Chain A
């Protein structure tokens, strides 16, 4: 089953052409790492999937529902606003800078969206939240405000918060890039646990070892285009493209 289909996506920031005709299909249960030099459009690609950035050209489909169509396809085949909203709710996102709500406790962060968006009762939301916090190993920190948590703990709460909405797809935008080296492991191991549950995931990352270990597919982006889309063994052990070779040499 195709979870996400992006067709010929273009994105501009003013005059800057950030995505230059990117097409991508994500199948159910796939774990895809997106790597590449900074400024290559990795994060933008991810952010175009859940409407944090509006595309300028192309079509975005989530689980068969056209959620956005722009450019010469403007509005073509786009589902009703209600269907579009429901489709977007199938995606959870984790940010580089965590973006926890600082005025709410860890538990408050996790119950907020289920109650507000899904209209869950407080009891149900608490049950979901405690389950998710336990899953990321932070149940005992549930009453702590984000300011009292380490970076790794914040990111794990952020993951629990996204999971509480019961998503089919998780988008990770450089989830460990803002962390001290010794805190990266705890976040990666939470993501690995999700992989074992066959969550469909897209991960923008600079952690090459992690990408190699966890991914079904590795996508290399350069200058707004997908340069390579292959399995991790071929990608890391015998990169075909000289651009990728140079990049990997620099990273390792």
Chain B
């Protein structure tokens, strides 16, 4: 009973951490999905200069540690005079990082669609953008759901790096309570919460997969 009371007493703090984690997570997804989709289309169909810039983008953001990218955003940008709020800096970093992975996922998905689909659409008089919107993207969505799910779950866990740069996310709050009370209970609570979020996401994606699989 004592233990239960302790958990209840720390919940308000934990909740504030959870709220920050959720806010950054959702903001990242909202921005990273369109970034990934547009960059993927740019890589597939864009003019050479765009393709090159996008290649550079995914190369750098997928080829370096996320923690180091956060360090640059938080400690590097102020040196060259760019001051962002911690929330903005974190959201931008996570968006660009996740966007780079999603770009490659979506590009692979778009390129896996048979070229006969483009030809059939063209022979029916559809423009390129009509073809993408109505024929190619809907089929791509079905194919990229599994890897997108992995990326979405990864992102949940990667938000824990916020703790390292001092933002009061779920893990950092848990750590603070741990140092204050010298009790590992907050870690257990955080552990369970991360697990719940990941599981909900996996469930959500498998529902989507089922919905998009009706035609198979």
A41 on the interface (CB 8 Å rule)? no
Q: Is the CB of B215 within 8 A of A51?
A: no
Name which of A104, A116, A161 has the most chain B CB atoms within 10 A of its CB. A116
Q: Is the CB of B119 within 8 A of A161?
A: no
Among A10-18, A85-93, A127-135, A186-194, the stretch in contact with B: A85-93
Cα distance, A88 to B117, chains bound together (Å): 18
B147 on the interface (CB 8 Å rule)? no
Cα distance, A242 to B183, chains bound together (Å): 94
B193 on the interface (CB 8 Å rule)? no
Partner of B139, one of A52, A103, A147: A103
Size of A's binding interface in residues, CB under 8 A: 29
Q: Is the CB of A113 within 8 A of B125?
A: yes
A215 on the interface (CB 8 Å rule)? no
Q: Is the CB of B123 within 8 A of A93?
A: yes
Q: Is the CB of B125 within 8 A of A101?
A: no
Q: Is the CB of B119 within 8 A of A99?
A: yes
Q: Is the CB of A52 within 8 A of B119?
A: yes
Query: 0/1 per residue, B113-143, Cβ < 8 Å to A?
Result: 0101101101111100010001100110010
Partner of A88, one of B125, B134, B142, B214: B125
Q: Which residue in chain B gives the minimum CB-CB distance to A118?
A: B125
Q: Is the CB of B216 within 8 A of A101?
A: no
Size of B's binding interface in residues, CB under 8 A: 19
Q: Which residue in chain B gives the minimum CB-CB distance to A117?
A: B125
A7 on the interface (CB 8 Å rule)? no
Partner of B130, one of A95, A116, A165: A116
A39 on the interface (CB 8 Å rule)? no
Partner of A101, one of B120, B122, B130, B214: B120
Q: Is the CB of B123 within 8 A of A103?
A: no
Q: Tell me which residues across on chain B come within 8 A of A118, comparing CB atoms.
A: 125
Partner of A102, one of B124, B126, B215: B215
Query: 0/1 per residue, A187-222, Cβ < 8 Å to B?
Result: 000000000000000000000000000000000000
Q: Is the CB of B123 within 8 A of A117?
A: no
Q: Could you tell me which residues of chain A, from 114 to 154, have a CB within 8 Å of some CB in chain B?
A: 116-118, 145-147
Interchain Cβ contacts under 8 Å between A and B, 24 examples: A50-B122, A50-B123, A51-B122, A88-B125, A95-B116, A95-B119, A95-B123, A99-B114, A99-B119, A101-B117, A101-B120, A102-B216, A103-B139, A103-B215, A104-B215, A113-B124, A113-B125, A116-B126, A116-B130, A117-B126, A145-B214, A145-B216, A147-B215, A161-B124
Apart from A93-B120, A95-B116, A103-B138, what 8 extra A-B contacts exist at CB < 8 Å?
A51-B122, A95-B120, A95-B123, A99-B114, A102-B215, A104-B215, A112-B134, A116-B134
